[in-house]
């Protein structure tokens, strides 16, 4: 399948374009870029630096993927961006390369809405949604199936657990546990992300077990340590993952 490059686009001859790539009017593709099969760059999209997009990624107007990170210290080594397949980067999304030779990584099937920002050295899993204006600071880690509401954000090195829902304008300065809804400044656990779990296809028995676990951990009179000790014997795999996550540092919400 032949790639199509609009005559007004600027594509460095060193860039690698797979089969069926479409590069729209006034788009820019720099020399170290790889666009895998079926990628689409709409008008005015920019892919910079040492960036590799997997198959079927779609980049909308004025999004900028790759390039230098926003750091005060001098760059050391070429920062990279690597993505999996079938991600959508809407208008004005920015994704910065890693620092000191590291790589900013994005998995498969993610939707980054208008104005979302992914800073240097961030790692995003698959099937995540970053709503308009969501902001991920450097070195953040986002597991699979996480949803960020509009204008929400996380600070450096924060980890968002799988299937978490981070409500609009939430500000997260500590790790966000998996499977829960967090909201507020600073963000706190408000309940179980039942809608997200059902959309993911989590069994109802596991959702029930997680309901019980969330009540024990955040909405009972007992201590967190006591609840974790009791839940450690739970045989549900999702509860086990929640308990294991809460043993990691900086999980205080």
Distance of alpha carbon 69 from alpha carbon 61, whole angstroms: 21
Is residue 56 within 8 Å of residue 85, measured between CB atoms? yes
Q: Answer yes or no: 121 catalytic.
A: yes
- Active-site hit among 49, 98, 121, 196: 121
Residue 82 phi, psi dihedral angles, 5° rounding = -135, 135
- Active-site hit among 96, 117, 120, 139: 120
Q: Answer yes or no: 127 catalytic.
A: no
Is residue 90 within 8 Å of residue 114, measured between CB atoms? yes
Is residue 48 within 8 Å of residue 30, measured between CB atoms? yes
Residue 159 phi, psi dihedral angles, 5° rounding = -115, 130
Longest Cα–Cα distance of the chain, Å, equals 67
Tally of CB atoms within 10 A around 215: 13
Distance of alpha carbon 235 from alpha carbon 253, whole angstroms: 24
Distance of alpha carbon 26 from alpha carbon 164, whole angstroms: 38
- Active-site hit among 138, 149, 153, 196: 138
Distance of alpha carbon 54 from alpha carbon 141, whole angstroms: 20
Q: Answer yes or no: 222 catalytic.
A: no
* Helix, strand, coil abundance in the chain, percent, nearest 5: 15, 25, 55
Catalytic residue numbers, as ranges: 120-121, 138
């Amino acid at each position: 399948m032949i790639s199509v490059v609009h005559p007004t686009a600027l594509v460095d001859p060193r860039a690698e374009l797979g089969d069926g790539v479409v590069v729209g009017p006034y788009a820019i593709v720099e020399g170290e870029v790889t666009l895998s099969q079926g990628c689409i760059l709409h008008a005015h999209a920019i892919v910079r630096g040492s960036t590799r997009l997997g198959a079927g990624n779609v980049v909308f107007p004025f999004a900028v993927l790759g390039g230098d990170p926003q750091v005060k210290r001098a760059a050391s080594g070429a920062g990279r961006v690597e993505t999996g397949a079938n991600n959508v980067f809407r208008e004005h999304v920015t994704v910065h390369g890693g620092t000191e030779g590291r790589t900013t990584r994005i998995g498969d099937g993610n939707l980054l809405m208008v104005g979302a920002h992914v800073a240097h050295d961030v790692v995003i899993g698959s099937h995540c949604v970053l709503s308009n204006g969501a902001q991920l600071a450097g070195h953040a880690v986002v597991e699979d199936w996480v949803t960020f509401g509009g204008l929400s954000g996380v600070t450096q090195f924060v980890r968002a657990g799988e299937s978490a829902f981070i409500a609009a304008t939430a500000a997260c300065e500590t790790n966000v546990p998996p499977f829960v809804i967090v909201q507020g400044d600073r963000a706190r656990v408000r309940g179980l992300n039942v809608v997200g779990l059902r959309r993911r296809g989590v069994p109802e028995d596991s959702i029930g077990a997680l309901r019980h676990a969330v009540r024990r951990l955040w909405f009972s009179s007992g201590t967190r340590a006591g609840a974790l000790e009791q839940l450690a014997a739970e045989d549900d795999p999702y509860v086990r993952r929640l308990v294991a996550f809460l043993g990691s540092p900086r999980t205080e919400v």
